[in-house]
Amino acid sequence: MKISDAMKETGLTRKAIYYYEELGLISPTQEGENSYRNYSESDIQRLKQIKALRLLDISLDQIKGIFDNPLAFNDIMEDQLEKIKEKIDVLNNTENIIKSMLTQNGSNNVSLSKNLDKLNHYLVLNAKASKNFMKKELERIFPSGFGKLMAIMYGTFLDEPIDSKEKEMAWLQLVNTLDSTEIVEFPDEINSILNKFYEQISKEGIDNFDAQIQRISNNISSFSDNISEEEKEVIKGKMDKAQNQEGYNELLEMSKKLFQYIQDNPNIIPADFSKYLKILSKKYNEVINNFSKAFKSEYTIGKTFGTN
């Protein structure tokens, strides 16, 4: 089955299917001179399974664990069931408060204030249980170029729920640290770059953008700088192909200017930010440990950012 048929059969995007292949979750055969992928019925079934599990907020690492060891399925699903029950409890409490408010039509300001305080408490609890809470909250708290910068640079690491006291404390400290940082007025050129990145993200779709960033993060996390001559040839070919794609040089130039600006202005990101993010994101820890190796040469950079 060709990629177009696989997309139609599973309802997944091309990039998502290629990404799952890159992670080793499926293994299509390659045929012909152009190495067209051929997806078997087994690949299609696995893609449908991945889609269903992702809809339940099961992480890709957990999904890989299930495929490697089917006995892990029950443990993961039981853990997921507990999380769902907690969400149901929060929603039930929220529902009861709203019903109480509706039955107290014309109630005094004191009781209204108490009910709204309760409602706010449960709405916040429900939001924090969401894996995208931190990302959305940073954009809401800092509705400016700074918020966009945070989302572009660190959004992929802010996809875990705040589900422990340690994370709760780290999140509060992170927000307070960012809020107390001196306000930086970005130059027009940097604001323009941030806006263009956001326009590109909106055009391609946030899911596709997140998938690309996730792939790069995974490449850095599992990075090895032992690159054979054969692999260098493959990387060079991909880099040459990418350079011929529309908008590549503009994107590369914008990225260089943005990261150079951040390097020249280290006060933008507070020193303690990384410490708190390490508590909030396991993925961030892995990336930080391999970051310098991944940017050592054109081949290591190509391997990190390489495309399918």
Segments of the chain scoring below 70 in pLDDT: 32-35, 104-112, 118, 120-132, 139-141, 143-144, 183-184, 198, 200-227, 231-232, 234-236, 238-249, 251-252, 286-308
Strand partners, 36: 31
CB atoms within 10 A of CB 283: 21
pLDDT for res 185? 77
Residue 268 gets which letter from DSSP? Answer: G
Handedness of CA 202, 208, 212, 217 (dihedral sign): positive
Which residue, among 217, 211, 238, has the nearest Cα to 14 in the 3D structure?
211
Helix (H) or strand (E) holding 299: helix 298-305
pLDDT for res 211? 59
Which residue, among 10, 4, 69, 14, has the nearest Cα to 41 in the 3D structure?
10
Cα–chain center distance at 226: 27
Strand partners, 162: none
The encoded tokens of residue 234 equal 């493959």
Residue 56 gets which letter from DSSP? Answer: T
Helix (H) or strand (E) holding 169: helix 165-180
Q: Do residues 110 and 139 touch, judged by C-beta distance below 8 A?
A: no
Contacts (Cβ under 8 Å, ≥6 apart) of 10: 17, 44, 47, 48, 51
CB atoms within 10 A of CB 268: 17
pLDDT for res 121? 62
In 3-state terms the chain splits into helix, strand, coil percentages (rounded to 5) of 75, 0, 25
pLDDT for res 49? 93
CB atoms within 10 A of CB 269: 20
Residue 59 gets which letter from DSSP? Answer: -
The encoded tokens of residue 149 equal 């910068």
Cα 173 to Cα 96, 168, 226, 270, 279, distances in angstroms: 32, 9, 39, 12, 11
pTM for the complete prediction? Answer: 0.48
pLDDT for res 308? 44
Q: Do residues 224 and 292 touch, judged by C-beta distance below 8 A?
A: no
pLDDT for res 104? 66
The encoded tokens of residue 197 equal 């990145």
Q: Do residues 94 and 127 touch, judged by C-beta distance below 8 A?
A: no
pLDDT for res 250? 73
pLDDT for res 39? 93
Strand partners, 37: 30
